[in-house]
Amino acid sequence: MVKEELVKLLRSYNENKSKLFIRKREKCTLEEALKDNIIEIKITKNHELNRNKKVKTNISDNVMATLINEKNKREEIQERIKNIENEILLLKDKTEEVDIRLRGLKYKEREIIKAYYIEGRSYEDIGNRVYFSLFEQTRSADTIKKTISKAMDKIQKL
């Protein structure tokens, strides 16, 4: 993978994770709406047929129009679900790519890469705060920069 693509994936990781969660929730909502839509069609059809007992085999124009409208709504919802499923697959691929590549790093490298690319911290902040919280030591910005460079080379080759 080209370094620029990898950096872009790392920087958009949190956003992609959030979008993935939102799209999954949206898909569930649409699937529920689809189920509700089917139930409404059955109720409407049965109600209209039973209301006019003289003409049980004929569906009134209003009911037919309603059924056609409901069918169109159902098809729209199904198309939206299909589009969301495609987007979910793309987002899953992006986030899994980052997760897999990060697993190939040592703990220290992984935490530093996350802090720099995903959290957007500076070299100095990583050296003073992140590194200190992990190992109770500090490191210079140059050391952090070298660690990031080596780790990026490592995950780029995976």
C-alpha to C-alpha distance for 112 and 70, rounded to whole angstroms: 53
Tell which residue, 24, 23, 67, has the closest CA to residue 44.
67
- Residue-wise pLDDT for 108-124, tens only, equals 999 999 999 999 999 99
Start-to-end C-alpha separation, the chain: 8
C-alpha to C-alpha distance for 33 and 10, rounded to whole angstroms: 35
Q: Which of 31-45, 61-75, 85-99 has the highest mean pLDDT?
A: 85-99
Tell me the mean pLDDT in the region 22-36: 91
